[in-house]
Amino acid sequence: MSLRHELAAAGAHLAALGLSPGSSGNLSIRDGDRVLITPTGANLTSIDPDNLTALDLNGTHLDGPRPSKEFPLHIAFYRRDPDARAVVHLHSRHAAAVSCRPAWSPYSSLPPLTPYFVMRVGQTPLLPYAPPGDVRQAAELERLTFPFRAALLQNHGPVVSGTTAAAAIDAAVELEETAALLLSLGQLPARLLTPQEAQELADKYGTPWTS
């Protein structure tokens, strides 16, 4: 499957899961020193593989229609992490809701509720609010000094990277499920993974976690 068709299939899958209402959300995939990204206003249910936007790693528009206004976030992930090969930005309901709450720690908006959150996503910082498409927010994401593969944009939603499109999808789904679990617990006391338990998982599965 070509990268273009892989991106289209990823969008259709996320939309089928109900994680991309309306024309919200945008996806990209890295192809060498180019980035293929969904165009502005694209509906993830029906991405046209032949109508994607091509950018370079500086965000310069190379080919195709006008890119999603969130393209600076995608570029920031690729620039800060050479292993990133795909980026998913969604307005999924539960993760967006958690983005409206204070962060659990300076390194992660969500706590280590389950081993799978640590294994598949890792620490997920909360980036301060900025209007959609604001390049300053992308610059802040790029310059954070600790490792992460996912972030929550305050009062907005999640942005997740992966070494493949499948990995980015899995992480985005796991992040949404963890957010739903956190909201379901409400004010009930919850047992979190201990720092040692979380660190052991992070070390074993190669995910970023700062205890």
Which candidate in 6, 78, 107, 116 is catalytic?
Answer: 116
User: Beta-carbon neighbour count of residue 205 at 10 Å?
Assistant: 14
The verdict on whether 107 is a catalytic residue reads: no
The verdict on whether 70 is a catalytic residue reads: yes
Which candidate in 70, 174, 176, 177 is catalytic?
Answer: 70
Which residue type is seen at 29? Answer: I
Residue 51's φ and ψ, nearest 5 degrees, are -130, 40
Mind telling me the catalytic residues? Answer: 70, 116
